[in-house]
Structure 1
C-alpha cells in the first residue's frame, strides 16, 4: 500500500518536504563527520540513522509523486520533474553508505588508538588516514551531488506546479486595492 492522499491533499506535496530537509541535513552531517572525526563521534549512531531516514523518505516521495503524476495533466514540465526525481535515490543511497562508513571508521579509529603496539599503531594510523581522506573526498562529492539534485528536482517541481498558475499582476480585491 502506498501513501497517496493525506487530509485531501496529494501526499507528494507533503512528503517531499522530508526529502527537502533531510537530504541537505544528511549531506551536511556526513561531510562534517568525515572532515571532523570528533563531531562524528559526538553524532554517533545518529549519523547513519539520519541517513537511513533520508534514504527511506526518497522512495516514499517518489511513489507518491508517481501517483500524483497519473492524476494531473501531463506536460513537459511534469515529465521533466518526474525524470529528475527518479535520479535522487542513488544519491541518497550514497549518503547512507558514506554515513555508515564515517560512523564505522570513526569508531574503528577510536578503538585502534587504544590498542597496544607502536608499529601496529603507525601502520594502522597511516591506512586509517588514507581511508579517512578517501571517505571525506567522497562525502563532499556525494553531498554536493545530492544537494544540487534536490535543488534541481525542487525547481522543476515548482515550475511544473506553478507554470501559468498565477498572474504577474494583482487580481482585483487584493491587499493593494484602494477602492
Structure 2
C-alpha cells in the first residue's frame, strides 16, 4: 500500500503510529504500576501493542517509498533513519505488555500450569518487570517524539524558511 485515495499512505498511517504507540506505552506503564488497571487493561493493551507491531513496518515501508519519490534531502533521510527505530520501540512495548498480561493471568489463577514466576507474589521479579516496563514505555514515547519531530522538520522546513 503506497497511496490511499491519491495521498501517500505514509502521511495517513503515521498518525496511527503517533497515537497508538504512545498509548500502548502509557498503558504499559499504567498496567505495570497499578494492579486495578492491570486487571482491566493488560489484555486489551497486549492486543493494541501487537497491532502496533504489525502497523509500524507497513508505515515505515510506505515512508521509504515516499522518500524515493521526493527530492533527496538530508532532513528526510534523517527522518527515515529515525523511523527505522520505531519497530524496536513497538516490539519492546509488546513484549513487556505480554509479560504484564501473563503476570496478571498468573495472579488470577488462570494459568493452566499454575506457575507463579511473574505473579505479584514474586516480589523481585515483579519489581524488576515494573521498572523495565516503565523504562521501555518512556523510551518508546521519546522515540515517537524524536521521529515525529524529525518528520515535521523534514516536511515543513521549506515552508518555514519562506517570507
Same topology, TM > 0.5? yes
Instruction: Sort the Cα spacing of 1:52 and 1:162 in 2 relative to 1 into closer, same or farther, 3 A.
Output: same
**Normalized against structure 2, the TM-score is what?**
0.89
Structure-1 separation of matches of 2:109 and 2:17: 34
Instruction: Sort the Cα spacing of 1:125 and 1:86 in 2 relative to 1 into closer, same or farther, 3 A.
Output: closer
CA contact (8 A) 1:40 1:47 kept: no
Unaligned runs of 5+ in 2: 111-116
Q: Could you tell me which residue of structure 2 aligns to residue 140 of structure 1?
A: 134
Is structure 2 residue 159 aligned with structure 1 residue 165? yes
Q: Could you tell me which residue of structure 2 aligns to residue 151 of structure 1?
A: 145
Higher Rg of the two aligned structures: 1
Instruction: Sort the Cα spacing of 1:71 and 1:96 in 2 relative to 1 into closer, same or farther, 3 A.
Output: same
Q: Could you tell me which residue of structure 2 aligns to residue 173 of structure 1?
A: none
Higher mean alpha-carbon deviation, 53-62 vs 93-102, is at: 53-62
Give 4+ residue runs of structure 1 displaced > 4 Å after superposition: 123-127, 166-169
Q: Could you tell me which residue of structure 1 aligns to residue 105 of structure 2?
A: 107
CA contact (8 A) 1:34 1:40 kept: yes
Is structure 2 residue 87 aligned with structure 1 residue 89? yes
Structure-1 separation of matches of 2:88 and 2:125: 22
**Normalized against structure 1, the TM-score is what?**
0.82
Q: Could you tell me which residue of structure 2 aligns to residue 41 of structure 1?
A: 39
Q: Could you tell me which residue of structure 2 aligns to residue 65 of structure 1?
A: 63
* Equivalent runs, 1:115-130 vs 2, <5 Å: 128-130=122-124
Instruction: Sort the Cα spacing of 1:43 and 1:134 in 2 relative to 1 into closer, same or farther, 3 A.
Output: same
Q: Any idea what SS the aligned residue of 2:148 has?
A: helix
1:166 Cα deviation from its structure 2 partner = 4.6
Structure-1 separation of matches of 2:155 and 2:120: 52
Instruction: Sort the Cα spacing of 1:167 and 1:48 in 2 relative to 1 into closer, same or farther, 3 A.
Output: same
1:62 Cα deviation from its structure 2 partner = 0.3
Q: Could you tell me which residue of structure 2 aligns to residue 119 of structure 1?
A: none
Count of residues paired in the alignment = 157
Structure-2 separation of matches of 1:30 and 1:125: 16
CA contact (8 A) 2:120 2:126 kept: no
